[in-house]
Amino acid sequence: MCSSQNPRGHTGGGTHGIPYHNYALFMLCLETYARFCHEYLQCFVLVSDGGPSPKSSTLWVMVSVFDENDNRPTFHEKIYQVRLPERERRKKAEPIYRVVAYDQDDGPNSDLSYSIVDGNEDGKFFIDPKTAVVSSRKAFAAGSYDILTIKASDNGRPQKSSTARLHIEWIQRPTPSSVPLVFDEPFYNFTITENDKVAEIVGVVSLQKNPFPVWFDITGKVL
Ligand SMILES: [Ca+2]
Ligand SMILES: [Ca+2]
């Protein structure tokens, strides 16, 4: 049975013996269930004529609840500041950094695409519209600085968007270490849950004591 509150503030539930107002039952159920983000709702409707030997009939009604685009994409930070080693010109564009946003809506309302809307006047950078990976094949000298504004837009109607700044400081590549680099553990095993938020720490890998600055890179693929 559907249970809801009618426009006069009375709590309704079960059978509503109100001739000509059956449409109100569906409206109220929809309003109540949509608040709880159900994708579907089912109503059991009873109609009777109220006579001395009342006749009645019942009906199941299923209503789909469509998601409203009421959330804009959200970046974990408004400003991302990274320091990366200087690099030479590459033959093809190679990844630099990635900032991702999340959207709490469903379907197209959370289907995000990314673009660079400021800081790329000379066309040095590219961004993958789906993965948000920023890449370039240009050379970047130590001491130079780039500030990009990255926009994430959903695919809802009306469309919602937000922006974040990516500050990149290009620094001198350190001289190679004269001592062997050894991780503290030969193997790391991290566990996450499906409810973990974007940008939460998954785990930490560390090197045995080393006096020189080092760079970490992920070289494998996600299985
Ligand atoms: Ca929504
Ligand atoms: Ca959205």
Residue 28 lies in a domain: yes
Q: In this structure, which residues have their CB less than 5 angstroms from ion ligand 1?
A: 67-68, 70, 105
Residue 195 lies in a domain: no
Containing structural domain, residue 112? 74-171
CA distance to 96, 130, 131, 163, 216, per residue, from 103 (Å): 24, 14, 14, 13, 30
Q: Ligand 2 centroid vs 77 CA: distance in angstroms?
A: 18
What tokens appear for 198 in the block? 């974007």
Q: Ligand 1 centroid vs 101 CA: distance in angstroms?
A: 16
Q: Ligand 2 centroid vs 117 CA: distance in angstroms?
A: 19
Which carries the bigger pLDDT value, residue 152 or residue 51?
152
163 and 118 inside one domain: yes
Q: What percent of the chain has pLDDT over 90?
A: 50
d(C-alpha 172, C-alpha 142), whole Å: 5
114 and 165 inside one domain: yes
Residue 153 lies in a domain: yes
Q: Ligand 2 centroid vs 142 CA: distance in angstroms?
A: 39
pTM greater than the 0.95 cutoff:
no
53 and 107 inside one domain: no
Q: Ligand 1 centroid vs 107 CA: distance in angstroms?
A: 9
Counting the structural domains of the chain, the total is: 2
Q: Ligand 1 centroid vs 162 CA: distance in angstroms?
A: 16
Residue 97 has pLDDT above 80, yes or no: yes
End position of a domain, from candidates 40, 64, 88: 64
12 and 38 inside one domain: yes
For 44-62, the pLDDT digits (tens) are: 788 888 778 888 888 888 8
Which of these ranges, 85-94, 124-133, 157-166, has the smallest mean pLDDT? Answer: 85-94
Residue 102 lies in a domain: yes
Residue 101: which of 197, 213, 203 has the closest Cα? 197
**What is the average pLDDT value for the chain, to the nearest integer?**
82
78 and 145 inside one domain: yes
Residue-level pLDDT at 201: 87
End position of a domain, from candidates 38, 64, 90: 64
End position of a domain, from candidates 130, 156, 171: 171
44 and 133 inside one domain: no
List, in sequence order, the alpha helices (H) in the chain: 22-35
Name the pLDDT band for 199 (thresholds 50, 70, 90). Answer: confident
111 and 24 inside one domain: no
Which of these ranges, 106-120, 126-140, 196-210, has the smallest mean pLDDT? Answer: 196-210
Tell me the CATH number at 118. 2.60.40.60
For 7-45, the pLDDT digits (tens) are: 333 334 444 444 555 555 556 555 555 455 557 777 778
